[in-house]
Structures are given as C-alpha cells and as structure tokens.
C-alpha cells in the first residue's frame, strides 16, 4: 500500500523530478524498509515516508524553483500564526457561504467518524484497556486439553494444578478460582438477598498482584479447610453493606450455619473474574483431597499463573509439558491423554471478542473511506466551481503554497466539524452498543468515551481531512492559470480531468458499498437461517426461574425434594399455569457437566466420550413440549431406592447405539465400568427424548443423558413454568408462592425461555445489527455519489443536450445517453467490489450459518440492488436535464 501511495505521489510530481529521482526514491525507500525495525516502527515509518513525499511534491508543485536556503527565518513565526488564523477565518466564511455543501459534507463525515468512534470505544474497552493487575504481562492462563474429549481450553482438575504449581519451575506461583459466581442466600435486616461469591485459593490476590484497599488478602494456608472462615469484600459490597467503614474488617458475616470473618476489602473496580462478585472466599479444601480420585477427575477450576521474572510463556510451556507428561504416566486412569496449555492473560480474555471487533473495525474503516471519497467528490466538484476564484487569487499574486494551505485548512475545518458530529453520534452509538449487551462481546468491562477515544476521533478526523482535502487542493492549485481562466470562462462546471477523477471516485464508492452490503446481507441470511432452526423445545409461553434451597434449614435430601415438589404443585394450582418442571441447566444456555461412559456388555476398551448431562423431572419435558420419541418417561416409581434410570436424546441413540435398541441397556459414567461392573453405578436407559440445542442453534445437538432428579438431586435448580400469562405476572405469582413457603428464600433469577433462545443468537444479532446499519449507510452514500456524478455530467452537457434535443432527439434518447455514462462508472465499481468481496467475506465466515461467504444468490442480489439504486440515482438528474427547455439550455452561459 505504501509503495503504491508513493508511486501515486511521484506521478503527481513534476516531470523533471519524477524522471530524475523517481526510481531512486522508490529503491531507497525499499532499502530503508527492509532494514527497518519491528512492525510497530514500520507503520510510523510508512506514514512518515508518505507524508514526506506528499510535502515534497506539494513544495515542488507550488514552490517553483525554490532553493534550499531558508526563507522563513526572515519572515518570523508570528506571521505564520497570523496567516493560519487568517486561513481559518477565510475557511469558516467559505463554509458558511455554502451551507448546503457544508451540511452534506459534515453529516457524511459525521456518520463515518461516528461509526468509527463507537466501534473503537468498544475495541478500546476490550483490547487496549490496561488490566487492573500488577505486572499483568507476567500472568498466564492455564487450561487443560484432551484430544479424546475435544477439549482445547478446558477448566482444570485441582490436583493437576497443585502438581503444576509445585513442579513447574517457571511459575512463580499458581492460583485457582471458579469462573462462576456462587450465589449464597444472605439475610440482611430480615430481608433475604443473594450474595455473589467467588471461590479462590489463598494466593489468588498475590498472584494477580492486587493489594486490598483495606485489611489483608488471603494466605495460601487459608485455601484449606479449618482456615477458610475468611472473606474479602468487593468495594461495591463494602460501600453498600458497611458504609465504606474501615471497621468492617474484623467483623463477621453469617450465611446459614456458616460464619466468616471479613479480613479485607478490594479496591474499586476490581471485579475479577466476574462483575457479580460481592466477595471472595477460600475453597476450604480438605488436604486429603489431593489423594482422592475426584480431585484429578473432575475439571472445574480456572488456574492462573505468574511467571518468574524474565521467563517467556514459551519456556514456561515447555516446562509445563514435562510435568504434564509425567502426570500422564503417574495417573493413567485420569490423565492418560490429558494435556495442558497456557496463554498470556490478555490474549485469553479477549479471544472471543477479537474477531467480531476486528470485523466491525474493518467495516467502519471501509465506511469512513466511503465517506471520505464522497466528501472528496463534493470538494472536487466545488473546487472546479472555484477555479476562477483560485485563478484570480493567483493572478493577484497569491503564492501557490498559500492557496494550497488555504484549501487544506478548509478540508481540515470540515473534518473537525465532522469529527465533532462524529463524536456526538459515537456517543449515541456507544450507548446503543452497551444497551444491546451482546453476550460474549460486552463482558466485565464498561463502555465509555475516554480520552483515548476522543484522541482517536480527532486523529481520524484530521487524517480523513487530509485524505479528502489534498487531492482536490492539489488539483485546484495546479498552476495552469490560462487553462483555469479559460475553463472557468466556459461556464464554471467541472472540466474533463475533474470529471474523470469524480467518476473514478464514484467507482470506488460503489465498490466499497458492495463490500459492506454483501457483509450485511450475509448476516441477515445467517440470522434468518438461525431463527428457522428448531431448537427442539417450545420458546413461547415458558418462563424459567431459579432459587436456592439453603442447607441451613433444609439439610436433608428429602426436605429439599419435598420443597421442590411442593413448589411445583402450588405453582400448577395457579390460574394460567399448566405445567412446571425442573432442570439444573436450561437448554441453549450452555452445558453443565460431561463425562465418558460405557454400556453393560461392552468390551473394556470401548468408551463413549464427552456425553453431556442434565438433571430433570418429567415436568421439564412436558412444560417445554419436548417429545418422548420412544420408551417411557420418569415415573413415580423411580426413586431413591429403585435402580437409577436415565433418558437419552436422539443424537445419543444414533451415535452410540447405531442399529441397536438403546432402551433397556445400562450405562455407567466411567471407563472402568465394563472391566469392573461392581465398582460403578449403572443407569438403565428407559426412553429417548427429542434433541434440544445446548449452546447455539448453529451447533448441532450433542449426545446427552438426562438423569432423574428424584435419584440425583440439587439445591439450585431452574423451574420452567408453562404459562398463559405474561412474564411479569408469572414472576409475581412465583414470588408469592415462594414467600408463602419460605419468606427467607429470594428468587435468584428469572429468564423467559424466549430470551434464552434469543440470547443464544446474540453475537450474530449484534454483528447483524451493526453491519446492517453500516450497509445501509454505505448504500445511501454510494447513491449520493452516483447522483452527484450524473448531475454534474448533466450540468456540464446542458448545451449539448439542448442541441441534441433541438435537432430532434427524444427525451428518452438523451436520458439513455446519460444513464449509460453513469452506469459505466457504476459497473466498474460493481465488478471491482464483487472481486474484492469474494475474498473479503472470508473474514466473517465464522459468524455465518447456513450460507457460504461467497453465496452466489447474495452476491447477485447485492449487485442487482446497487445497480438498481444507481439507476434511480442517475435517472433523476438525467431526466431533469431533458426537461429543460432547449432554448434555455442553449443560452446557458
């Protein structure tokens, strides 16, 4: 790109310079570039090279046969300032005199810059904001990998992490935390509420390098049971519950039967790993767990390590692999193929948002380019209108350099006005983005227009001012006085050269619009395809609610089940509510746990990998209209004392029991069950239910087993409520029932199933909305561009049209002539845009579903759409040209 810009600038340079130095400039540039420093320096270097040559060309063009002896020394700096102010005043006057032009240019630029500001703020918040940790560059996230289970960055088993911590020399220390917030019931002044707790190891804060604002953090010893009755509060919780009093440290909090001591308060803004954290508390593990199988078999902790100073992530990873190999040999039962990896913390945190933000940044950059092209066109047309003014100023002795500066000042003033509008629009855009709350896009961070964003906006404005201001300015000040006066004499419309440039720019506009509109249409089609996927359950008229049953008052299994049964019974007795069921994890809201399994009678080496699990009752399937395909449902006779039963989904039956009848078969969730049947719990498959999408409509359902909640229970289940009423009335009913049963149990969460379904498509919806908006703007800008070029051409050819019509040409002939001219330019742009789109749409391939990035129907329809818009945009001015009375048009100047 740099090289072609340099070539372009050389092409603008006077012939004597170009032939004498052109090849040399390029070869020296190449040599410098090759020997140059890192990538960061290269961009700055390229910018300097282009700017330097642009200035050189401008000086050569305008400075005449200058010498290299300095002149400005004698004129002094005060003069410079004064002339700049004069330029500004003049530019302001000029813009005020042409309100139509100014308004158009400023709003077009405002749109382009505003879109950039909004997307940049999001990028800024996620990718560039400093992490609130000490020396964050030394922090790496650890995770486990397993080719058999298809794990690439899974949470880890604590026993493995403890071994890494002790045996990998490159780690200064390794901490663990739970990603999920544990919502604990808490009674404050007689009112129940839920407090979000994050379980951590005692070295959590020291590994992150964050010091509490008040009090202390934890010690490593406090990881273990007996020392774990301590908590550290979040700043927000400290303010809301303790009035920010330093005396809070040393006080106790009581949760049911447990009392813990507050030992510290974190500084404001620290909310790792989850913004819903009210407090952090140690896990309180039993040291004996280290020898227990489950501590190495269950993978649920997130490990984070601090590297020793000077250690690279690569070296740490090499050392980690040595330990991983050793663990595979030492613990073949759990670790046979269990691998591990590490990623620098920042890369890990942004991995999900990097791609969508990259795509959106690319899209807004294209949009801004389109806006700049548009304004450049406006300026070119106007510059040719002003040829006479410029020629006059030349004739009166104005220096070329001064006039160039004047024109550039005008461009910059326009750009800054556009930047101001853009900042305002960007602010609106940022709020809109924040309101959309796209899952997986906005996370812990808050969106705001900070100093960096403002700086970015100003920078973009100035750069675009130069971009669209320089070419017209150079054109207007080419010292061809006679020609200018002559051309001006002919009637103030654009000259042939200008028209060619304008046509070229319109081609570019159309090409850019093709790119953006293709992206938007692909997303629209993706979204339609996603929405038409049957998720496998009813999405309307079902509300899910969640609450936890505290162990303090409901200690035993039977008490919990009785409470849940009674809740369902009372809810179903309410008007409008037809069925209530429970499940530990809602469909399309992620997965809860997974395992391997073996079926009775399988050879010991045959293992089924990665089946998902959920815990339900019969009501869940009925409330959500999930069909029982074969076999029977959980019944009243299946209980704690009867053999365990399980339902499987259709994918499970198809993948693991091809050509056989799964019903009646028994399965166990480990890989030693076939060899040692007595040592495992066997579940009898009693029925097959329809597939339900588990994570996204774009991903096919995976094999899943549904355990019976009468045999396998939990305290924090979701209740799905099939209701004829609204969400609000259902929630009110739920609160009422819960209050009747136990006024101290708060409702933890409410999620209408329809919302769950929609949120599973939130990322696509988010990208769709933004790309759609950008596509629409692009279409509008391109239409304006085409309209402008045809209108300008029509204006230029008024006399010709008059003559043709006077000689008997019909209006339709003339319109056809004008249309052909407009559409030739459009066709060029369409072809170029299409060619680039074929390559560029690959960038969004990962967000697409059910449609190929090069989908022919999409490409054809976009081309047709743009051609149609272009036809209308050029028909209007062409038609107008023919409606002028021939006599008038002949007289026109």
- The residues that touch other proteins, with contacts defined as CB under 8 A, are 6, 9, 17, 20-21, 23-25, 27-29, 31-32, 37, 48-49, 51-57, 59-60, 65-70, 73
Phi-psi region of 664 (alpha: psi -120 to 50; beta: other; left: phi over 0): left
DSSP state of 145: E
CB of 60 to other proteins, least distance (A): 7
Minimum CB–partner distance for residue 57 and other proteins (Å): 7
Tell me how far, at minimum, the Cβ of 72 lies from other proteins, in Å.
Answer: 10
**Nearest approach, Cβ of 25 to other proteins (angstroms)?**
5
Nearer to other proteins, 17 or 300 (CB): 17
Q: Least separation, in Å, of the C-beta of 401 and other proteins?
A: 13
State the DSSP string of 532-594.
HS--SS--SSEEEEE----TTT--SHHHHHHHHHHHHHHHHTSTTEEEEEEESS-TTS---EE
> Distance (Å, rounded) from C-alpha 781 to C-alpha 762?
28
C-beta of residue 766 within 8 angstroms of C-beta of residue 441 = yes
CB of 469 to other proteins, least distance (A): 19
The token duo for 179 is: 């990603």
Let me know: does 545 contact 747? Beta carbons within 8 Å. yes
CB of 26 to other proteins, least distance (A): 8
Pairing outcome for strands 645-649 and 683-689: parallel
Least distance from other proteins to the Cβ atom of residue 54, Å: 7
Cis peptide upstream of residue 125 (ω within 30 degrees of 0):
no
Contact 632, 591 (CB under 8 A): no
Rounded CA separation 446/453 (Å):
14
Q: Token pair for residue 355?
A: 């791609």
Q: In terms of CB distance, is 41 or 269 closer to other proteins?
A: 41
CB of 50 to other proteins, least distance (A): 8
Q: Going by C-beta distance under 8 Å and a sequence separation of 6 or more, which residues neighbour residue 526?
A: 764, 768, 847, 848, 849, 850, 851
Q: How far is the CB of 365 from other proteins (least distance, A)?
A: 24
- Which of 441, 466 has the CB closer to other proteins? 466
Q: Which C-beta is closer to other proteins: that of 13 or that of 125?
A: 13
- Report strand pairing: 718-723 vs 645-649: unpaired
Instruction: Output 70 or 641, the one with its CB closest to other proteins.
Output: 70
Closer of 60 and 260 to other proteins (Cβ): 60
Give the Cα separation of 245 and 267 in Å (integer).
Answer: 13
CA distance 586 to 594: 15
71/435 with CB nearer other proteins:
71
Q: How far is the CB of 39 from other proteins (least distance, A)?
A: 15
Name residue, tokens 């030349």: 394
Residue 28 CB, nearest distance to other proteins (Å)?
5
Report the alpha-carbon distance of residue 200 to residue 303 in Å, rounded.
Answer: 10
Residue whose CB is less far from other proteins, 71 or 93: 71
Burial 535-547 (b: 16+ CB within 10 A, else e): bbbbbebbbbbbb
Shortest Cβ distance from residue 455 to other proteins (Å)? 21
CB of 67 to other proteins, least distance (A): 5
Residues written for the chain? 893
CB of 62 to other proteins, least distance (A): 12
| Cβ pair 719, 571 in contact under 8 A | yes
- Give the C-alpha separation, 582 to 548, whole Å: 13
| Closer to other proteins by Cβ: residue 29 or 615 | 29
**Closer residue to other proteins, CB minimum distance, 51 or 675:** 51
Q: Which is nearer to other proteins, 57 or 363 (CB)?
A: 57
CB nearer other proteins, residue 5 or residue 628: 5
Q: DSSP labels for 804-827? A: HHHTT--HHHHHHHHHHHHHHHHH
Give strand pairing partners of 232.
264, 280
Q: Choose between 6 and 508: whose C-beta lies nearer to other proteins.
A: 6
Nearest approach, Cβ of residue 479 and other proteins (Å): 18
Question: Nearer to other proteins by C-beta: 41 or 700?
Answer: 41
Which helix or strand (DSSP H or E) is residue 802 part of? helix 798-806
Q: Which residue has the tokens 């032009």?
A: 101
Give the residue among 827, 842, 791 at the shortest CA–CA distance from 514. 827
**What is the smallest separation between the CB atom of 480 and other proteins, expressed in angstroms?**
22
Nearer to other proteins, 70 or 637 (CB): 70
3-state SS assignment for residue 791: helix
611-635: b or e for each residue (b if 16 or more CB lie within 10 Å)? Answer: bbbbbbbbbbbbbbbbebeebebbe
Q: In the complex, what is the shortest distance from the CB of residue 11 to other proteins, in angstroms, rounded to a whole number?
A: 13
Q: Which residue has the tokens 């983005």?
A: 433
> CA–CA separation, 864 vs 872, rounded Å?
12
- Which residue, 76 or 639, has its beta carbon nearer to other proteins? 76
E strands present in 671-823? 683-689, 704-708, 718-723, 749-752
Q: Are 823 and 867 in contact (CB under 8 A)?
A: yes
CA-based radius of gyration for the chain: 35
Alpha-carbon distance of 750 to 517, in angstroms, equals: 38
Pairing of strands 191-200, 542-546: unpaired
User: Within the chain, what is the greatest distance between any pair of CA atoms?
Assistant: 106
User: Based on CB atoms, which residue is closest to other proteins, 79 or 846?
Assistant: 79
**Pairing between β-strand 230-233 and β-strand 252-255 as defined by DSSP bridges:** unpaired
Bridge partners, residue 183, by sequence: 196
Of 19 and 437, CB closest to other proteins = 19
């Amino acid at each position: 790109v740099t090289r072609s810009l340099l070539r372009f600038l050389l092409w603008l340079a006077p012939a004597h310079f170009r032939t004498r130095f052109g090849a040399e400039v390029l070869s020296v540039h190449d040599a410098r570039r090759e020997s140059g420093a890192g990538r960061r320096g290269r961009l700055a270097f390229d910018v300097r090279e282009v700017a330097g040559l642009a200035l050189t060309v401008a000086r050569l063009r305008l400075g005449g046969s200058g010498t290299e002896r300095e002149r400005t020394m004698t004129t002094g700096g005060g003069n410079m300032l004064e002339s700049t102010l004069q330029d500004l005043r003049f530019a302001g006057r000029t813009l005020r005199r042409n309100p139509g032009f100014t308004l158009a240019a400023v709003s077009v630029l405002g749109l382009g810059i505003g879109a950039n500001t909004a997307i940049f703020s999001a990028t800024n918040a996620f990718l560039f904001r400093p992490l609130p940790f000490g020396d964050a560059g030394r922090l790496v996230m650890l995770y486990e990998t397993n080719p058999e289970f298809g794990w690439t960055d899974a949470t880890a088993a604590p026993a493995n992490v403890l071994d890494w911590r002790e045996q990998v020399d490159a780690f200064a220390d390794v901490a663990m935390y739970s990603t999920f917030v544990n919502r604990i019931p808490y009674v404050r002044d007689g009112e129940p509420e839920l407090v979000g707790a994050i379980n951590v190891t005692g070295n959590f804060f020291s590994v992150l390098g964050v010091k509490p604002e008040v009090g202390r953090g934890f010690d490593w010893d406090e990881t273990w049971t007996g020392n774990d009755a301590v908590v550290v509060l979040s700043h927000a919780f400290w303010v809301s519950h303790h009035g920010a009093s330093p005396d809070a440290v040393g006080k106790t909090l009581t949760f049911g039967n447990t009392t813990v001591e507050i030992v510290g308060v974190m500084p404001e803004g620290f909310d790792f790993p989850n913004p819903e954290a009210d407090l952090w508390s140690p896990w309180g593990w039993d040291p004996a767990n280290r020898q227990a199988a489950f501590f190495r078999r269950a993978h649920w902790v997130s490990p984070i390590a601090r590297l020793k100073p000077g250690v690279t992530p690569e070296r740490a990873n090499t050392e980690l692999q040595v330990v991983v190999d050793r663990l595979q040999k030492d613990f073949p039962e759990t670790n046979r193929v269990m691998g591990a990896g590490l990623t620098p913390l920042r890369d890990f945190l942004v991995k999900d948002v990097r791609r969508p933000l990259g795509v959106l940044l690319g899209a807004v950059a294209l949009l801004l380019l389109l806006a700049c092209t548009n304004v450049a066109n406006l300026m070119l047309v106007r510059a040719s209108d002003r040829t006479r003014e410029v020629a006059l100023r030349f004739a009166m002795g104005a220096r070329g350099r001064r006039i160039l500066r004047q024109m550039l000042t005008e461009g910059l003033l326009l750009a800054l006005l556009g930047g101001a509008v853009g900042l305002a629009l960007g602010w609106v855009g940022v709020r809109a983005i924040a309101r959309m709350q796209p899952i997986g896009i906005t996370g812990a961070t808050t969106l705001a227009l900070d100093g960096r964003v403002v700086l970015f906006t100003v920078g973009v404005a100035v750069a675009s001012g130069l971009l669209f201001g320089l070419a017209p300015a150079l054109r207007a000040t080419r010292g061809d006085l006679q020609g200018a006066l002559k051309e001006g004499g002919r009637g103030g419309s654009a000259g042939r050269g200008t028209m060619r440039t304008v046509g070229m720019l319109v081609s570019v506009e159309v090409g850019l619009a093709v790119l953006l509109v293709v992206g938007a249409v692909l997303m629209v089609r993706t979204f339609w395809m996603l929405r038409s996927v049957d998720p496998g359950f009813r999405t309307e008229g079902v509300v899910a609610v969640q609450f936890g049953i505290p162990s303090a008052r409901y200690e035993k299994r039977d008490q919990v089940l009785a409470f849940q049964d009674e809740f369902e019974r009372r809810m179903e007795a309410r008007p409008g509510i037809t069925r209530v069921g429970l499940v530990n994890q809602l469909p399309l809201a992620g997965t809860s746990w997974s395992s391997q399994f073996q079926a009775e009678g399988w050879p010991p080496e045959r293992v089924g990998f990665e089946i998902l699990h959920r815990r339900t009752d019969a009501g869940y399937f009925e409330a959500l209209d999930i069909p029982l395909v074969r076999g029977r449902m959980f019944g009243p006779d299946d209980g704690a004392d009867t053999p365990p039963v399980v339902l499987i989904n259709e994918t499970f039956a198809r993948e693991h029991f091809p050509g056989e009848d799964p019903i009646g078969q028994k399965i166990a969730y480990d890989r030693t069950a076939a060899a040692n049947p007595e040592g495992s719990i066997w579940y009898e498959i009693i029925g097959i239910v329809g597939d339900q999408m588990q994570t996204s409509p774009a991903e096919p359902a995976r094999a899943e087993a549904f355990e019976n909640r009468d045999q396998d229970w939990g305290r924090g289940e979701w209740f799905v409520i099939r209701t004829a009423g609204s969400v609000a009335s259902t929630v009110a009913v739920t609160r009422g029932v819960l209050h009747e049963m136990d006024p101290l149990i708060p409702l933890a969460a409410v999620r209408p199933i329809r919302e769950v379904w929609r949120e599973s498509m939130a990322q696509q919806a988010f990208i769709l909305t933004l790309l759609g908006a950008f596509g629409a703007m692009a279409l509008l800008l391109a239409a304006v561009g085409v309209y402008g070029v045809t209108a300008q051409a029509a204006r230029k050819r008024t006399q010709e049209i008059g003559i043709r019509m006077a000689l008997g040409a019909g209006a339709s002939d003339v319109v056809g002539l004008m249309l052909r001219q407009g559409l030739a330019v459009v066709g060029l742009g369409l072809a170029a845009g299409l060619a680039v789109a074929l390559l560029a749409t690959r960038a969004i391939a990962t967000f697409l579903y059910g449609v190929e990035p090069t989908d022919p129907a999409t490409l054809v329809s976009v081309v047709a759409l743009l051609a149609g818009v272009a036809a209308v945009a050029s028909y209007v001015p062409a038609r107008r040209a023919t409606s002028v009375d021939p006599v008038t048009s002949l007289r026109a100047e």
